[in-house]
Structure 1
Amino acid sequence: MASPGFSAPGGVAVVGSGLIGRSWAMLFASAGFRVKLFDIESRQVTDALVSLRKEMKMLELSGYLKGQLGAEEQLSLISGCSDLREAVEGALHVQECVPENLELKRKLFAQLDKIADDHVVLSSSSSCLLPSKLFAGLAHVKQCLVAHPVNPPYYVPLVELVPHPETAPATVDRTYALMRRVGQSPVRLLREVDGFALNRLQYAVIAEAWRLVEEGVVSPGDLDLVMSDGLGLRYAFIGPLETMHLNAEGMLSYCDRYSEGMKRVLKTFGPVPEFSGATAEKVHQNYWEHRAPTPGPSSDLPLPEEVSGCLLPLKTVLKTTGYSLTRNQNGAAEFTHRELVTASGPRGDPQTIVLMKGPGATTGDLDTRLGRTRVHVYLASALSHAGRII
């Protein structure tokens, strides 16, 4: 059922043809919107369209293409251009995806402000730039907001909607409805704040993780296990506030029981780390020394742009396929119907590559280094289609 605020798909302009821009284009096309993908360099546009075709064909082949339309139908909705006025003409929504540089973005929005009508939403994908700085002085400021995705948005549904102080409520409502329509999970920030919500939470975790390693409390590898095998598994399904509410007899009971302990611990938190020096070297060496052996030339491994086309969130895979993650009699994590290969990534970083197999495939035990590696989930058929043999 369509979300309130949209009677029929219209046109969307995506400004910037990098990974985030391409991912947005795929999302909008999956919901039936006509997309104009803009880049100032025509060669970039051409390359982006080639990449989109490859990614969407691989996803269709493996059964993970979003939407009701086939890959060819979705691709027919996406066109490229290197003329900004042409890209924006007739659009109901503009999604900016240029590099995270304030002056560059301000210059772009000044151009958009001159050619936009009074109905189009002007949205930025910025991860940390405040709307009050991005959109200051624009005539169409009421139509502007930040819609910050988690990279890449085709695979991660969260979008933070952050308004300028003068953004019209209707602009936020329209963008919320659009994001719901394309399958995203929008959240509304009621006012702007430095770092928005996601990065404020993320940076708080990173800062304390850094301090614990820097102060010699825990090793880098064990620290990451605290998240990957503990908090991360919990927070992948419910957030911190819901966890508090469910942990006792509701939120009031939780606060009554644990507030003093939380405050005592929080008072021991140190200053903001420098994120450099001996601790940076220690963390780097920990992961560099624990690299998995390379099975062959690095050229035989998927390139970053190819990985993005077949990367799937583990949570989504488990929910939609019925495959299960369990523990065997030795306590090791185990995936049903998957085979695992540990390899070095394009830059020598360790990865556990999970090759999806069909029903009847053998069960493979997760490598014991799971907590110390990045896990990328690939579709075996997609990798074969890409000609990448591991």
Structure 2
Amino acid sequence: MAPLKAFLTQLEAKVEYVARGGDPRLLEGCLNIVLTGNPGAGKTTAARLLARWLRAHGLLQQDVFVERNALELKGTHIGWTCPQVKEMVAASMGGCLFLDEAYALSGSRDGDRGDSFADEALRTLLTELENNRTSLCCVLAGYPEAMERLLRADPGLLRRFPHILRLDDYAPSELAAIAASTAHARYGLRLADGVLEALAEHIDRVHRADIPKRNASLAVGVIEAAMNRLASRLAGEAAIGGAAPDPAQSNAADPRTLLAEDFGILHSRASEEGERADVLRRIRLLPAELAPARELLLGLCARLSLAFPPSGGADDGSSLLDRAGRLAIVGADGADGAAVARLLHELLRAHGRLTGSLVERSATA
């Protein structure tokens, strides 16, 4: 939300200037904004916060927030689109009109202007905004690339929308805070002491590649998965992807407290290093007939240790490992392929690349 905060700080300076006797016409400019950001980056939340801020500072005359998906502006028959758009703008007068997925007004997500209904909706919207430049705030929101194509397709948009803000992806620490807030607000749960910081490191190490695709929804998913582990742990079952509960923890039996293991996080750097060392020792003990598998696992172990140091973030080399894993184990009768698969799973889990359990099945079952 840093770009939005900077924008509001600039507006606040103008409000303060006018309050001290400055020319009030300084606040009569167009407030229309384009908000872009990846999925879950908070575009809708930002628009609502913006509307409340503008109203609280007297820049909007009405406590009105009209939220629509841009697809709703497109008519299904000739003569329907224009009145629909005008009615929506009229309902937003004095307040804020928020149009999500605004790239739909370009005709398609690929920027194809071949959709006559979308073209009519966009032309009507721009005309209405031009006729009411200071009577409302209109916010167009969408994914960055699609919105850039829309802005390039119609130069009139840039004149009517002088402010373009791109919301950054959430940082791991912010996602951890969102997860903690979600746990408390939705489920009445709290994180045990020290877990918030560990969760931020865990998100950075394990879920970094997913952040641009999910953002805030990633934090919600992390909490939902942790609740499943919490239920399994309290029921006496093996925690999915977690270490065994530590009896020394006073919160171990508290049904309202999420522990590190509920997030698939090892308790400490020492225990993490110990688990990695144990897996490495057992890899080295693989018999001679499994020498090719042993060398493969040792090489993978070296790469993982370099890219994912214990309880720390990954370096740039981690991108080599952010890919789907596929491995076929072929051997003569009696070769223990299952042992290799189990060690591979434990190796990846010890380095934070897997959080789930190993499922073993026979192809003939």
Q: Specify which structure has the higher proportion of helix.
A: 2
TM-score, normalization by structure 1: 0.27
Which of 1 and 2 has higher RCO (CA within 8 Å, sep 6+)? Answer: 2
User: Which structure's CA Rg is the greater one?
Assistant: 2
Q: Specify which structure has the higher proportion of strand.
A: 1
TM-score, normalization by structure 2: 0.28
